[in-house]
Amino acid sequence: MAALINNAIAQARPKLAIFMKYAKVELAPPKLSEMPQIKAGISKLLASAKTGAWKQQTIKQATLNTLVGMEVCFWFYVGECIGKRHIVGYQV
């Protein structure tokens, strides 16, 4: 039994190291130096919404943007569930 556990830990260690490498970068809050890039991205998004440039996207780009939007919504709802400590409704 101990050999099985040690084997599982040995196999999981490289994958966990890769996960931690990406998690430190992707899950970190934005730095103050990144704020101008964020502001430029938001203004670009709003400008494309106003001009209708979003209609000229390829299917691949539109699918990717839809998936990113869905991911943001899902993480928002997960955060809400964690914050209120209930899956459905608020305690009033």
Residue 13 is which amino acid?
R
If you count them, how many residues does the chain have?
92
What the block records as the tokens of 1 is 């039994």
CB contact at 8 A, 65 and 59: no
d(CA 18, CA 22): 6
Rounded CA-CA distance 41/81 in Å is 29
d(CA 66, CA 72): 10
What is the predicted pLDDT for the residue at 34? 92
- Give the pLDDT score at 90: 65
> Which pLDDT score is estimated for 49?
87
Q: Looking at the predicted structure, is the pLDDT value of residue 92 above 60?
A: no
Return d(Cα 90, Cα 80) in angstroms, integer.
Answer: 10
At 19-72, the pLDDT tens digits run: 999 988 888 888 999 999 999 999 998 998 899 888 888 999 999 999 999 999
